[in-house]
Amino acid sequence: MNSVFSNKTAICIFVLPTLIIFFAIVLVPIFVSSYYSLLDWNGVGKGTFIGLQNYVEMFTSHRALSSMKNSLLFAAASIFIQLPVSLILALILASTIKGEGFYRTVYFIPVLISTVVIAQLWSKIYNADYGLLNTLLKDIGLSSLAQDWLGQKSTALISSFIPTLWQYVGYHMLLMYAGAKSISQDIFEAAKIDGASPVRTAISITIPLMKPILKVCLVFSMIGALKVFDLVYVLTGGGPFFSTEVPSTLMYTTIFDTYRYGYGSALSVFIILECLVFTVVINKFVKTE
């Protein structure tokens, strides 16, 4: 076994297929999109080279800037709502409660469901006529709060946050739970002997020792929020009046509805660079030592 890992030729042979696939489905499309982003092209025939004009339009367009703001709001909701909830659930489950395996499975079930199915489910919950939410509000005497949750600019964006947060709480919870379980029990026993309460143990011992996995969850949560597409597209289509539009849905409609492949490619490059920049920033400023 050791001879295999020390053989550079064998390593290259095993790694080469993965590198070829990665190059073909990741790097090549990025380079091609970067080239298209410099063109005025409708997807047919020869495009016209216009340099950085698509990028200038993107950063001066109110619709594009609004979509960027919405994606940042998605990221903020994921970081400041989803991750803390996931952390609390992970700490509770890791404390060896009764039914630990059952709750772990139940919280993870939404992750296994297709995002399109999740969006359809929540669109029925939010439905203004027969939706579960409005029906519940009316049954408890709060009929004045019942409204068209996805049809109004004031509520559509917040209503789009909730399904995303609900779906991936279990995903981050499971990662954090695994991180908490990997900590040696001797440390917790020593803290208990010293008289530390469960809350103090979590704050002073468990969470600091979980920093590497918390950093991973932070990166995953940020990237997932910045490139969110399917849930928003199915739930609202970016409406009403583009109030829930994010860069990925704007990119889709730009390319396939208005046939502006150059401008849509510029949006795709922006999404890639945005995710890359935030990942670098997190790795730079979030220390795990």
Segment 54-83, tens digit of pLDDT:
999 999 999 999 999 999 999 999 999 999
Residues 6+ apart with CB under 8 A from 209: 183, 187
Flag the least confident range among 104-113, 147-156, 280-289: 280-289
- Would the pLDDT of 265 be above 60? yes
Domain assignment present for residue 104? The answer is: yes
The predicted structure's pLDDT at residue 74: 95
- Measure the CA–CA gap between 275 and 224, rounded to whole angstroms: 9
Predicted confidence band of residue 2 (pLDDT cuts 50, 70, 90): low
Q: Which residues pair with 249 in a beta bridge?
A: none
User: Which tokens go with 55?
Assistant: 């990028």
- Measure the CA–CA gap between 233 and 253, rounded to whole angstroms: 10
Range of the domain at 85: 60-285
Domain assignment present for residue 48? The answer is: no
- From the list 248, 227, 272, 267, the residue with the least C-alpha distance to 74 is 227
User: Which tokens go with 118?
Assistant: 């999740």
> Mean of the pLDDT values across residues 121-145?
92
User: Which tokens go with 248?
Assistant: 């990925």
- Measure the CA–CA gap between 104 and 32, rounded to whole angstroms: 42
- Measure the CA–CA gap between 167 and 11, rounded to whole angstroms: 38
User: Which tokens go with 160?
Assistant: 């789009």
> Mean of the pLDDT values across residues 173-201?
88
What's the domain count of the chain? Answer: 1
Q: Are 36 and 46 in contact (CB under 8 A)?
A: no
> Mean of the pLDDT values across residues 228-236?
93
The predicted structure's pLDDT at residue 222: 94
The predicted structure's pLDDT at residue 3: 59
Domain assignment present for residue 51? The answer is: no
Domain assignment present for residue 4? The answer is: no
The predicted structure's pLDDT at residue 253: 94
- Would the pLDDT of 278 be above 60? yes
Q: Are 150 and 235 in contact (CB under 8 A)?
A: yes
Flag the least confident range among 36-40, 64-68, 79-83, 184-188: 184-188
- Measure the CA–CA gap between 238 and 119, rounded to whole angstroms: 13
Domain assignment present for residue 12? The answer is: no
The predicted structure's pLDDT at residue 196: 84
The predicted structure's pLDDT at residue 189: 86
pTM: 0.89
Domain at 262, CATH number:
1.10.3720.10
- Measure the CA–CA gap between 226 and 278, rounded to whole angstroms: 10
Domain assignment present for residue 43? The answer is: no
- Measure the CA–CA gap between 86 and 175, rounded to whole angstroms: 9
Average pLDDT, the chain: 91
User: Which tokens go with 78?
Assistant: 């994921």
The predicted structure's pLDDT at residue 194: 85
User: What are the E-state strand segments in the chain?
Assistant: 39-40, 48-49
